[in-house]
Amino acid sequence: MSRAPTGAISRVDSPEILLAVDIDGTLLSWDGELFDSARRAVARALTAPSVEMILATGRSVHSTIGVARRIGIERGLAVCCNGSATIRFTPESPDGWELTDLVTFDAGPAVASILRRMPKACMAAEDLGRGFLVTADFPAGELDGEVRLVSPEELTSRPVTRLILRDTELTLEELRAVVEETKLPNVTYAIGWTGWVDLNPPGVSKASALETIRRQLGIDPNRTVAVGDGGNDVTMLEWAARGVAMGGSRHDVLAAADEETGRIDQDGLARVIDSLFTGLP
C-alpha cells in the first residue's frame, strides 16, 4: 500500500459540523434522480459557514466530479473510491478540482485469489480522473467515463485505488459467501446491493478518509454526521457521532447507524440536513 498526499486541507471559516453524504441511494436515487427536497437541503448545507458537507462515495473521481457539478458544488471536498482518493473542488484549478490524498495497493494477489474461485468474474480498476480499465464488459450503465478492455495482467501491472469485482451469475448471498471464504489478502472490502464487491487498500474506507479530513479541519469528533444506505457506508456510520441510515437500508447498515431517516423518496436526506439547522434563523 502506498499513499501520495498532495496538500493539507484547511478552511478559513472553521466549520463546526462535518456532514458526510453518500451519493447513490442517499443523495441520488439508484436511477439518478435528484429530488427537489435534497437539492434544496444540500444547497443550504453548502452555503452554511458552520457546516463542511463532504460527498463520501464509492464512485470514481470522474463520476463524483459529474455529480458535484450537477448539484452546484464549486468548492469543498469529496471522498471517492470508498476512501482511496480525496479531492478538493476549487475554481482556481484548471480542471476545477485537485487531488489531496491518494492511497493505492497492489491488487495482484487479490486478483489471483479471485480468479481461482470465480474464473468468470469481471474486474475493473479506476483510471484516475478518466474512467476504468476492465477485464470484461460490465452491464450497461454501471461504469462511466472512458472504459478500456485489458488483460488481468495489465490490470494489476500498477497500483490501484480500488478493484471492482462483478459476477452477474451469483446471487448477493452466494457472492458474499465466496468472498468471505476466499479470505482475500491485504484488502478492505465492501459488498454492494448487487453482485458487486469493492476492494480497497487495507484499512482504507470512507471512515478513514473522513477522519483524516476531520483532524485537518479541527472539527470536534462529537460534531460529525454521516448519512448512507449501503454496505460501504457501514464504517462511516459507525465512525460518525451521528450515523443516519436511509429508510429501507440493509440490516447491517441499520445496525451500524444511530438512527434511521426516511427513504430517498420520503425526503430522508433533507430531514437530516434540516435538523442541523433546527433553532437557527
Give the tens place of pLDDT for each residue, 46-91: 999 999 999 999 999 999 999 999 999 999 999 999 999 999 999 9
Average model confidence (pLDDT) across the chain: 89
Task: Evaluate whether 244 touches 259 at the Cβ level (below 8 Å).
Answer: yes
263: cell is 427513504
Question: Can you state the percent helix, strand and coil of the chain, rounding each to 5?
Answer: 35, 25, 40
pLDDT at 24 over 90: yes
Q: Domain extents for the chain?
A: 2-6+16-103+204-275, 106-200
Q: Which CATH superfamily is domain 2-6+16-103+204-275 in?
A: HAD superfamily/HAD-like (3.40.50.1000)
Residue 80, strand partner residues: 85
When pLDDT is cut at 50, 70 and 90, the band that residue 281 belongs to is: very low
Report the C-alpha gap between 87 and 68 in whole angstroms: 11
> How high is the pLDDT of residue 80?
96
CA dist list (Å): 82 to 23, 34, 135, 228: 11, 21, 21, 12
What pLDDT is attached to residue 37? 95
Nearest to 237 by CA among 251, 219, 224, 222: 224
188: confidence class by pLDDT, cuts 50, 70, 90: confident
Task: Estimate the crossing angle of helix 268-275 against helix 36-47, to 10 degrees.
Answer: 30
pLDDT value, residue 130: 85
Query: Domain 106-200 falls in which CATH fold?
Result: 3.30.1240
Instruction: Name the residue with higher pLDDT: 7 or 154.
Output: 154
- The pLDDT of 7-17, averaged and rounded, is 66
Q: In Å, how far are 41, 222, 240 from 81, measured between CA atoms?
A: 25, 25, 19
Residue 257 in grid coordinates: 447507524
From the list 21, 27, 14, 87, the residue with the least C-alpha distance to 53 is 21
**DSSP designation for 10:** -
- Cell numbers 474486474 correspond to 123
Which residue's C-alpha cell is 441510515?
Answer: 245
